[in-house]
Structure 1
Amino acid sequence: MPSIDIRHAHSLPHAQARKAVQEVADKLADRFGVACDWDGDTLKFARSGVDGKIDLAPKSLRVTANLGFLMAAFKGPIEAEIRRVLDERFS
Structure 2
Amino acid sequence: MSKIDIRHPHSQPMAKARKSLEEVAAKLDERFDMQSRWEGDTLHFTRSGVDGHIALEKDALHVTAQLGFMLSMMKGQIEEQIRRVLDEKFA
Q: What TM-score bracket applies, with the shorter chain setting the length?
A: over 0.9
* Structure 1 match to 2:7: 7
SS at 2:79 equivalent? helix
After superposing the two structures, state which structure 1 stretch, 79-88 or 24-33, moved more.
24-33
Q: Distance in 2 between matches of 1:2 and 1:47?
A: 15
Q: Which runs of 5+ in 2 are unaligned?
A: none
Q: Distance in 2 between matches of 1:54 and 1:22?
A: 11
Is the Cα contact below 8 Å between 1:3 and 1:67 reproduced in 2?
yes
After superposing the two structures, state which structure 1 stretch, 72-81 or 48-57, moved more.
72-81
Q: Which amino acid aligns with 1:24?
A: V
* Structure 2 match to 1:26: 26
Q: Which runs of 5+ in 1 are unaligned?
A: none
Number of residue-to-residue matches in the alignment: 91
After superposing the two structures, state which structure 1 stretch, 11-20 or 29-38, moved more.
29-38
Q: Please, what TM-score do these two structures have when normalized by structure 1?
A: 0.93
Q: Distance in 1 between matches of 2:27 and 2:81?
A: 9
